[in-house]
Amino acid sequence: MMAVILGGGLGGLSTGYYLLKNGLYCNNLKVCLLEATDYCGGWIKSIRTKDYIFEQGPRTIRPKGPTGLNTLNMMQDLGLSEHVSAITPDHPAAKNRMIYVNKSLHLLPSSLKSVFKKNEPFSKPLIYAALNDLTQPHKSLNEDSIYNFVERRFGKEIADYAISPMICGICAGDAKEISVKFLMKTLFEYEQNHGSVIKGMVKSIFKENNNGNLEMSELAKRAKEERWNVYSLKGGLQIFPKTLMNYLKNKDIDIQLNSKVEELEFVDSSLVKVKKTDGQVLDASHVYSSIPSHVLAKLVNKQHPELAEHLKGIPFVTVGIVNLYFATDKPLVSPAFGFLVPPLENSPILGVVFDSCCIPDQNGTVLTVMLGGRWFNEKFGPDITKEELYNIAMKEIKSILKIEEKVAAFNVSILDKCIPQYVVGHYSRVDKIREYVQSKNLPLSLVGSSYDGVGINDVIYSAKAQVAQDCGQQ
C-alpha cells in the first residue's frame, strides 16, 4: 500500500508527520510526497543575511487555542523550541497595532481602559458598540458576510475600521465577501442562539473552557503561562518546513522534489494512478491532496468534472510583497507590529509590517509592504512588473511613514493566487466537495489551506484531524 501526498507545503508535510505519528496506519503503508518545486515549504520562504531576514510569506504564528497549542507541540517535537521567539503582551508589537485612516496612523485600542475613551478614527468610545449589540432586534440567518454581521451588531465604524483591515491582514480579502464563520463562527452562533453576542458570551462564561483535551508540551505550557501574543522563529520561518521535511526523510518518507503532478486517474476505491509531468506514473492506494483546490480541479477534471467545478469555485487572491531593508542605526519607525489600511481608503497597499520590531536579529529597519490581495487585478492589472510594484510601495512608505533614507536591500515577490478566500457559502461548498468524494468512494483526502482554515495552525491541525479520521476508517 502506498499513500501519495500531493504538495510539500506545510499542509503536505504535516500530513506526512501525522501519518508517522499514527504509526502509518497498520505499519505497512509506504508514503511518498510529491512537490512540484525544488524546495519544501510552499508559501513559507525566508531570505536570510547577516543583517536582515525577509519573509516573503508568513512571519508570525498565533499560539492561542487548541490549534495554536498543537503547533507548539509539533515545534517542540521537532526540536525547534530554542528557535521560538515570543512576543509577550508587554511587547510593543503586541500593544501597538495601527490603522491608516484619513492620511494619519491611529493606534487601535489594546486595553480595557481604552474601550471607555474616544479613540480616533472612531467617533465614540468603543463601549457604545456593546450597547448597540444589546439593543439590536434579532435577525435569523444561516450565514452572512463578516462585514454585515459586525455592522449589524457593533456598528459601521467597527466594521470599517477594525474588521475590514483585519480581514486584509489575515487573508488579503474583502470583509464584505468573507463569511462570518471564517473568523467569528462562535460570535455568530451567540447572536443566532441568544439574540446578542454579549448575552451569548456571558452565558458561555459558565461553561467549561478546555483546549480540546489536547496534551500540552513544555513549550505550549510556557506560551499559555506567559500569555504569548504571537511568535516567530529565529533565523526565519522557513526553518520550520525545512526541519519537518528532514524529520520525514529520516523516517523513510520518500520526498520527491521537482515532481509536478498533472493528472489523477481513479481506478477503484483503493487505486489511483498519479501521473507526473515527466511521464512517471505512481500507483497509490490513497491520495492526500494539499495542493490548492484550483490546481486539484485540473487534475481531476477529466474523470470528475462536477468535482472540478466545486473545487474551482473557491476563489484565490494574489498578493504583492515588497521587503525593504534600511541600514540605519536608529529605527526609522515607532515600535509597533505595523499598520493596516481599511479598504475604504482605496489605497494600493493592504498594510505594512514592521519586521524589525517583531522578528529578532535584524540590524536596522526592516519593513514588509503587502499590496493588492482581493483588489490586485483592479488596481494593478495582470501585467504589472516587480519594478512597478516596488515604486508603488516606496511612494506609500515615503508618504505614510515619512522615510527618506535610501533602501540598502529589497525583494519583490508577486504571489499568484496565494490565499484562498472563504467567502459566504465556502463551508457548504467544502461539504459538497467532501460529499462527492465520499459518494464516489474516491481514495482522496483533502488537506491544506483551501478547505478548513487559511493560517498555519489551521493547516497543521486539519492535517492531524484528517489523518486521524482516515486511520479510524482503516
Ligand X SMILES: Cc1cc2nc3c(=O)[nH]c(=O)nc-3n(C[C@H](O)[C@H](O)[C@H](O)COP(=O)(O)OP(=O)(O)OC[C@H]3O[C@@H](n4cnc5c(N)ncnc54)[C@H](O)[C@@H]3O)c2cc1C
Residue 419 sits in the site that holds ligand X (CB under 6 A) = yes
- Given a contact cutoff of 8 angstroms between Cβ atoms, the answer to whether 309 and 415 are in contact is no
Restricting to residues 139-158, which ones interact with ligand X according to CB under 6 A? none
Nearer to ligand X, 149 or 461 (CB): 461
Closest distance to ligand X from the beta carbon of 322 (Å): 12
Cβ distance to ligand X smaller for residue 31 or 454: 454
At closest approach, how far in Å is the CB of 372 from ligand X?
A: 10
Q: Does residue 165 contact residue 127 with C-beta atoms inside 8 Å?
A: no
Judged by CB under 6 A, the residue of 20, 43, 110, 303 near ligand X is 43
Instruction: Kindly report the number of other CB atoms within 10 A of residue 407's CB atom.
Output: 17
Stretch of 140-148, 248-256, 289-297, 359-367 lying at the interface with ligand X (CB under 6 A): 289-297
User: Which CB atom, from 7 or from 351, has the smaller least distance to ligand X?
Assistant: 7
Q: Is 449 in the site for ligand X (CB under 6 A)?
A: yes
3-state helix, strand, coil in the chain (%, to 5): 40, 25, 40
Q: Would you say 164 or 232 has its CB closer to ligand X?
A: 232
**Stretch touching ligand X by CB under 6 A, among 51-59, 159-167, 208-216, 381-389:** 51-59
Instruction: Assess contact for 410 and 233: CB atoms under 8 A.
Output: no
HSE-up of residue 279 (Cα within 13 Å, Cβ side): 0
CB 304 within 8 Å of CB 37: no
36 near ligand X, rule: CB under 6 A: yes
All three cell numbers of 204: 458561555
Whole-number minimum distance, CB 109 to ligand X, in Å?
A: 22
Beta strands in 82-184 (DSSP E): 84-87, 97-101, 104-107
Interaction mask 176-215, ligand X, x per CB under 6 A: ----------------------------------------
Helices (H) and strands (E) in the chain, counts: 18, 19
Specify the pairing of strand 349-354 against strand 286-289: unpaired
Closest CA to 290 of 313, 261, 310: 261
Does 454 interact with ligand X (rule: CB under 6 A)?
A: yes
The Cα angle at residue 459 between residues 320 and 143, in degrees rounded to 5: 85
Q: Per CB under 6 A, does 6 bind ligand X?
A: yes
- At position 247, the amino acid (one-letter code) is Y
| Nearer CB in complex with ligand X: 12/364 | 12
- Choosing from 3, 11, 348, 354, the residue that interacts with ligand X (CB under 6 A) is 11
Examine residue 57 and tell whether it contacts ligand X (CB under 6 A): yes
Residue 415, interface with ligand X (CB under 6 A)?
yes
Window 68-107: contact mask with ligand X (x via CB under 6 A): ----------------------------------------
Report CA Rg, the chain: 23
Q: Work out the end-to-end distance of the chain between its first and last CA atoms, rounded to an integer number of angstroms.
A: 12
The DSSP annotation for 60-100 comes to -B---HHHHHHHHHHHHHTT-GGGEEEE-TTSHHHH-EEEE
Q: Which of 146, 159, 291, 393 binds ligand X (CB under 6 A)?
A: 291
Site string for ligand X, 297-336 (x = CB under 6 A): ----------------------x-x---------------
Which residues are at the interface with ligand X (CB under 6 A)? Answer: 6-12, 34-37, 42-44, 57-61, 260-261, 290-292, 295, 319, 321, 415, 418-419, 448-449, 454-456, 459
